[in-house]
Structure 1
Amino acid sequence: MSIRRRVLIGGAATLAVGGASLGWFLAAAPQHEALEVQVEDTAEVLYPPDLLAGLDGTRFHEPTTVAVFTHRGGQAALTDDRALNDAVLEHARQERTDWLSADEQRWADGLFVLAVDPEGRLVGTYFGDDREVGEGAQLAIQDAAKPDFQAGRWTEGSVAGVQAAADRIGAPVIRQTGGAVVAALASLLTLAGAGTWVGVGLHRVNRCRRHREVGDAAMAAVVRDHDLTRLHATVLPESSRYGGLMLQRHDDYTRGFREMVELGDEVRAFAERDLDSRRAVQRHAAYEQRATSLDHLDDVIADTAAFLNRDSGWAAAWDRQVAPVRADLEGVDGLVERDLRAKLRGLPEVQQLRALASAGLVDLDRLRGDLDRQAISPDDALDRLRATRDSLSAQLDALAAATAREFGTSESERTTMRDAMHEQRRARPHEPTILATADPTWLWFGTGMFRSGLSTGTSQVEQSRSSSSTGATSGYSGGGSFSGAGSSSRF
């Protein structure tokens, strides 16, 4: 499908859904003034004329009696989350029995009470059974008042809280948070869907072009080096362990070359108008992946031939094998000093890691000297290089376990940290080296992977620690069997 057709269809769908949702929302607007506004300002923080003026024009979906109650809870309310709930109930039983049902076990029908304790820093909302709203809506009403309450604007906060309640009490589906959200989401999702549909099409077209551009460049390099790669394969010593493994990879190269040519023909056969399809992206991505992997593979085959045969380019080829291992070893000090927290740097696993890194760097230099003197075979040198990286991986594994054990304050936190580290441990990065290419199943743990796992795990644990609930508190400490709907929260 062309991009132009996507735009036309998406625009029509957006207008239809958005218009219907807006019409429904406007038709369900609140129409009822408050039956009565009662002000019980026992804390003496309100200015009733401004409160009543601020509520003038406020409309409810159902006829509702509004009560605004203030109370000074003192020092005790600073630690008792139910202090305001209890204070409102006690005031109702002593002074405003009209706020209670006939059996005094619930709030009276048609009633809404907004309460605030300026000393205990609590705001509460209470409802008759026929005016009850959900816990999320209760907290939303309380939250609407909090900015003003936090600034000591008690009258303005009360107005904001009552207005927020008016929007939610008895609201039809379209005006409730859920309904309005659904309608708004339907419109927005249609718009977003249309935009996304068009955007996805454009994105896919651009992705196809990028995949083809990168794939074409890689394919050109592979085709250019094809005969040379075949020549390199003919001189790979079959008696060498790594030579034999690389001959198997050359078989993969030969099959992959044919697939690359076929994929190249396939992607070039796509018409421009068809580039926005998922299949087009998949085929273009497969073409790029195949071409770039072969471009890397022919380089590794060339390095293997040069190193195993000790031709004029063997030293540069060896340096390319050593480079990622050396980078991991040299990265240990930075990992310890910059990424590990101070309390973790004294772990014995850290000292062992540093000692291993220092010894490993010395061994790499010694290994190069042995190769220069031909005191070690190329195969044995590669085995030593792999052993160095395996030792580093094992020590990083030990440090990961110790970090999870020391950083986590509970088993769940330790599990979170371990899982983050293990996920990185299982992620094998692409590396165009003889060792990684000869054994595609080989896994290692590098300092960069450790750093990424540490950062992810730390972030997840700290986010969990900071996500303690700040929701509303319901219930009444001394209410007996009282079950009136309502809750309070702090500001």
Structure 2
Amino acid sequence: MRKLLSILALGALFLIGGAPAASASQATDIVIEDTAGTLDANTLLPAIEKIKFNEPTKVAIYTRAGNESDNLNEEVLRFAREKHPEWLSSDRQKWADSLFVFALDPAGRQVGTYFGEDRKVSPGQRDDIQNATKDLFKEAQWTDGSIAGVERAAQLMNRPWYKSPKLYAWSGGILVVGGISVGSTLYVRKTYRTRSEKALEIGNASYSNVSLDLEATELNAKTINGDSRYGSLVLEKYRGFMAAYNDLAEQGNKANDMDTKLHQRKETALFMEKYAGKATELDRLDDVIADTNMLLNMGSGWAAAWERQLAPLREDLAEIDPLVTGKHAVPDAPAAIALTRFKTMTADEVEKWGAALQSRQLSPEDGLDKIAAAREELTEVLKEYSEAVIAKFAKDKEEEKMMRAAMRTPEASGTSHSSNHSILGTVYPSNRFWSVVGFSVGYRSGRSSVQESRSASSSTGGSTGYGSSGGSFSGSGSSSRF
């Protein structure tokens, strides 16, 4: 029996070794239509460019922010007809040859895959491609999930006979490669490895910055006036700086000594991201200590330090118009009108504060007080506006409660990168001030929670129809929920 198994194994190896060499092709064109605003193009595009296809293929990636009740197939076809007729065949009844369309609706929690006639795959393979994305999409890893979907499609479309898992199954299970579940698992592992390595790189860079600035940070802290309102609060943060730095050094040693084979595990990715987060936090804090010293003592670089304190407020002012005029806005709400008025008045005031600081008619502490007061006023108006957008979307009290909870979490009310690098963003709790960016994040989270609740009883199986507006369209494709 053992001899027979050996012969079968050798036969399988011979078959594999004698198979013709696969011809790998890159995407001939890549079109990204991220109308939902959920993808990181700087990560997505290079990753898609590296993927090898069995035949030259045009890749189109389309995202939309819809509802759980939408027919994604119908919406993708509608978008193609309106914006990209070249995605359709000459008779407009099928998808164009050599085309693969990957669609994602993060709000409606649906994923779809669509194929030109010369790229279509079996229904089971369509499911395989979509399933390769779902673990990542459930974690809101929209970019990584999209990459995994395109990568799996590239493997399955026009797959040569000698790459089929059925071929390897012939050997009695001695050599088993490919396969649906194995393929999906490999992509998830690859994603965790990428996350681990990216976090390690960020953590090491931030740790290096902190180490190089260690002496300067100590000197800056010593020259901050401890009797100052803001100076004393920043110094409180500094008191634990060295202990945190020593802890970070231990984390860094552990992260860098870890076997790279472990990078593909979820727990490793989470550990690396924790290390990166701690390192970034310390790197941010030493910058804030430097700005506090420079601004409160009106040193030679005070103007640049002052601009960094204004940056979060300026960002909010720039985002108010889209917030009150966008797709889900309630422009006639009193709070929307108040937001527009706040933007106009505050933009003028900000310039006056800078001039008063320069002429020494305004002290640095009073200047920070004015920024804090403006952000507190904005916070109150945003809270009022949140009730207006909740009332527009929610269908009952339970949905209102669900959205309200999502919009009042620290993550939702939390601020932008520039705020985290400001004095106010450092000395006050993260939920002290609401930001317009944080408001939008919270609203999307609330919508997603409500839509997930509404669709809880819906089937997660695939859908292949193109709806009433699809007409006689019969292109290959389907969508499913995650």
Distance 1:463 1:271, change over 3 A: closer
2:397 aligns with 411
Alignment of 1:374 onto 2:374: no
1:301 aligns with 289
| Pairing partner for 2:200 from 212, 215, 229 | 212
Mapped to 1, the partners of 2:270 and 2:254 lie a distance apart of: 12
| Pairing partner for 1:428 from 414, 439, 445 | 414
| Pairing partner for 1:247 from 222, 235, 241 | 235
**DSSP 3-state at the match of 1:359:** helix
1:166 aligns with none
Mapped to 1, the partners of 2:250 and 2:441 lie a distance apart of: 38
Contact kept, 8 Å, 2:413 with 2:442, in 1: the verdict is no
Mapped to 1, the partners of 2:381 and 2:454 lie a distance apart of: 29
How far is 1:330 from its partner? 2.9
Mapped to 1, the partners of 2:299 and 2:439 lie a distance apart of: 37
What does residue range 302-321 of structure 1 map to in structure 2 within 5 Å?
Answer: 302-321=290-309
| Pairing partner for 1:443 from 402, 417, 432 | 432
Mapped to 1, the partners of 2:244 and 2:213 lie a distance apart of: 14
How far is 1:232 from its partner? 0.9
**DSSP 3-state at the match of 2:309:** helix
What does residue range 234-313 of structure 1 map to in structure 2 within 5 Å?
Answer: 234-277=222-265, 280-313=268-301
Mapped to 1, the partners of 2:179 and 2:210 lie a distance apart of: 45
1:125 aligns with none
How far is 1:315 from its partner? 0.6
**DSSP 3-state at the match of 2:414:** coil
Contact kept, 8 Å, 1:274 with 1:280, in 2: the verdict is yes
How far is 1:268 from its partner? 2.5
How far is 1:416 from its partner? 4.3
How far is 1:464 from its partner? 7.6
Output the amino acid matched with 1:309.
N
2:387 aligns with 401
Mapped to 2, the partners of 1:193 and 1:355 lie a distance apart of: 55
Alignment of 1:361 onto 2:347: yes
RMSD: 3.3
Output the amino acid matched with 2:235.
L
Gaps of at least 5 residues in structure 1 are 1-189, 471-491
Alignment of 1:327 onto 2:315: yes
How far is 1:340 from its partner? 4.5
How far is 1:434 from its partner? 0.5
Alignment of 1:222 onto 2:210: yes
| Rg larger in structure | 1
**DSSP 3-state at the match of 1:333:** helix
Contact kept, 8 Å, 2:192 with 2:269, in 1: the verdict is yes
2:338 aligns with 352
Output the amino acid matched with 2:434.
F
Mapped to 2, the partners of 1:323 and 1:416 lie a distance apart of: 32
How far is 1:338 from its partner? 2.2
Contact kept, 8 Å, 1:308 with 1:378, in 2: the verdict is yes
**DSSP 3-state at the match of 1:303:** helix
Residues 252-307 of structure 1, C-alpha deviations (whole Å, 9 max, x = no match): 32122111222222223223344445554444333322222111111111111110
2:34 aligns with none
Output the amino acid matched with 1:222.
V
Contact kept, 8 Å, 2:220 with 2:293, in 1: the verdict is yes
Distance 1:368 1:345, change over 3 A: same
How far is 1:460 from its partner? 6.2
Mapped to 2, the partners of 1:420 and 1:275 lie a distance apart of: 32
Mapped to 2, the partners of 1:278 and 1:467 lie a distance apart of: 27
Determine what percentage of the aligned residue pairs are the same residue. Answer: 30
Contact kept, 8 Å, 1:424 with 1:452, in 2: the verdict is no
Select between 307-316 and 366-375 the one with higher mean Cα deviation: 366-375
Contact kept, 8 Å, 1:404 with 1:417, in 2: the verdict is yes
Distance 1:424 1:234, change over 3 A: closer
Output the amino acid matched with 1:232.
N
Output the amino acid matched with 1:243.
G
Mapped to 1, the partners of 2:455 and 2:219 lie a distance apart of: 61
How far is 1:398 from its partner? 0.8
Mapped to 2, the partners of 1:466 and 1:219 lie a distance apart of: 44
Distance 1:399 1:363, change over 3 A: same
Alignment of 1:453 onto 2:442: yes
Mapped to 2, the partners of 1:234 and 1:469 lie a distance apart of: 61
Mapped to 2, the partners of 1:361 and 1:409 lie a distance apart of: 37
TM-score (norm 1): 0.51
What does residue range 40-59 of structure 1 map to in structure 2 within 5 Å?
Answer: none
1:157 aligns with none
Alignment size in residue pairs: 281
1:174 aligns with none
What does residue range 50-129 of structure 1 map to in structure 2 within 5 Å?
Answer: none
Residues 413-466 of structure 1, C-alpha deviations (whole Å, 9 max, x = no match): 444443443347754235211011112355222222223334454566678889
Residues 158-206 of structure 1, C-alpha deviations (whole Å, 9 max, x = no match): xxxxxxxxxxxxxxxxxxxxxxxxxxxxxxxx96665565555544444
Distance 1:332 1:211, change over 3 A: closer
Residues 30-56 of structure 1, C-alpha deviations (whole Å, 9 max, x = no match): xxxxxxxxxxxxxxxxxxxxxxxxxxx
Contact kept, 8 Å, 1:436 with 1:442, in 2: the verdict is no
Mapped to 2, the partners of 1:219 and 1:313 lie a distance apart of: 25
